[in-house]
Structure 1
């Protein structure tokens, strides 16, 4: 073959490009390895001795299994196979045997390029994956997947995106055995398992970054319509079964929502968000993928019905306020009334399921504002300045700038509500920015409105909330009180809560008081206010409570 004058220059340019790509790879990795189809090393470069005990040239011709601890050999084989089907797997921690068999943790990524045939490329960084990965929503997960809230936001944005980036298909997957494996595997192995699952799902998702871990055993991904879910399930099962210490084997089920259905975009969005939320909290809701898969039309119909009813409740104000008194344990007289929503035309029917739907689909702020307006208008027409009303506000609403602005405009229009309308923050677990929530609370307190935390004691973050959000009262839920009656620790907790809150000048309200024994118990524990069926069921007529006088047991603060 006759050489041309520019061939040397071309060769040098190709070598420069190769060296540049290698240099870029070393920006992340300490070691680069190339494997043939049998997983034998054909190329190695970088800091190989700390992980393998051998220099790069002595690694050539060795099988990758010979360098790994036995427990991770099967994992690497499955990861390399997975990279072949989806291009890349990353964020995996594996243990090499290391110099003298001392062991060497390594963080690894596997890559395959179709144009280079069956060769596999491994990039390795010494030290393993000690740090968690932070997703785009600011929540930290070891597997790098989105959480339920981040996934919901992404799915909604992709549904409304231009055609080129629109959501085509959303698939939810469940591996029930993962919950048991979490208890049987050591932390490092379990984290490796989650990293392997997460890496594989991300690699198969849209933009390689549209997958989520929705529960201990549930996952979701947004993907192109040509992704073969059966193959995806097979690869996931291979990963899980390879690390199953019991050898029993795992199972997997899935259900997909397709964007090009007969549903409108709005209804599809509601069904999608509803399904994600229900699936994420399936222990509470009893929601199953089989139910979704077999009854998608009815699920869509239920979601559409709830959405229509909710919109009608807001737009036509087809609900009224029922009042339930809060009573002082010092005077035995009514301190204020909690405003509870009831659907018009359906005697004493609570809109609870519609409120839950609104919370799950991110529409609860509209309802909170409508309730506040009902209560403010009602107070405007009451001449007795001693009448006070308490209205619920979801934790979701506290961090919404639009809701905050609308609520303050509403209060400006109803000056009579000042110091007579108070607010209870419900669903505090939904507060994703405590500082923003505290700014919201203080903006109301500066106007003369008392603000409290509802269902205090039902979660693990109550005292943490009190350390960040300054409030005027806390309301202890009925389940906590019933538990406190049965256990010495519970009694001590309630008494300590009362002492703690008195030091902070915070009132304590005990809710769901149904018996004289419960009343006597919370009074002895130093609780200042009580509420529940013992003092009357919710009613839209205040005159039912006008003659209410409670004989309060003698206060004796339990030590």
Structure 2
């Protein structure tokens, strides 16, 4: 894989251990910089990589062969000449403030190194000036779950999960009084002892500490004082959930934790098992029969949300979204994963999508496939049989690789993706950026599309740093031949920012909510 938006005069060498080392150094460089530049004699750019489209409006390759001055604001070029003289004399340029040649003359930090080799060759990095540390915030549910799972599997494995539940009448009041939500969040952060905090649903919070159990009575008292100041007396209930991953595999522990958090978010402390993660996993297994019947009898719906071209707002394709009857989507999927029914569920969804495509000529649909299914030879063969029986429909089918479960057997997953690609099915990595594994998938799997996680889309309208991160994701995707989709585009501002960063397609409430596929018959129900 090339690094983000790389452009150079020379062609890429064959993959060697040295090439792997170069990839590693590039990754380290991008951790601190947005733009990487190499210059030859006469300060001519010979290599460019990074978020050039975002900052300077052109692709990296457009700058190869041009003078270094083209990157720098005119009024700063004298300072640049002095900096380059310092670099030539000392072999290293410490971080130096300089302004880019963009419309806003954005301040950046320029640093450089003169490697051994041809005289006049310099390696330069451009990174945003450091911003003050962000104030601590309460994470939203999905982000909290991912971070909590990471802490649970971390060194020592001694993390403690505390859950905080407010009375139902107060939870209803929070929806009408956003200032109350803010004060409760502040009280939680103040009493967290530096632990990870999350809001799982209005009035229901989680707190994970990897050092020592939090002072739950003191925390409850802080939050009750906030409620009382708003004329809402009420008792805050708390509970510790033992995190005991030693008795479970990492995958089992993660699924059990997600299931427990989902139950708490919807039903409070009353919906939790009393024996920690092991009992939570047993609770999931007890639901296996119900889930198997729901899948076998097709007691679920698929809703379809359009994904549109940002240039003309025409529908490019639809995503099929699972809606299990009477259950939360996340809870249903987590249960299916935990009891080994993910493959059956994904095949049932594929059957339903293929049925819909038969009745909707010209419509393209993306279906989601779990990482668990992707690495299963049995699933691959069953899906291949279905696809081979419906070859005429396959040019209108896309498969999205979801990251609800991280892929461990990449060889088997690649075989499934190769099977899909060989049959003309377009491939997409879903929720790109939501987890570290997505970057590994982009490196190791050839895909047609990348879908940027909605959290980054939401934050990009407020934060220059988040916009820069999305720009880097776009450049990285385009560098490996993948086009980009943004999800959770809910306002015209979201759409404009994504289009400016090079995103091609978008999905979100701005365009349409999930609904029935135009022209498709009602879903089948099997006896």
Q: Normalising by structure 1, what TM-score?
A: 0.46
Question: Comparing both chains, which one has the higher relative contact order based on Cα–Cα distances under 8 Å and sequence gaps of 6 or more?
Answer: 2
Higher alpha-carbon Rg = 1
Q: Normalising by structure 2, what TM-score?
A: 0.48
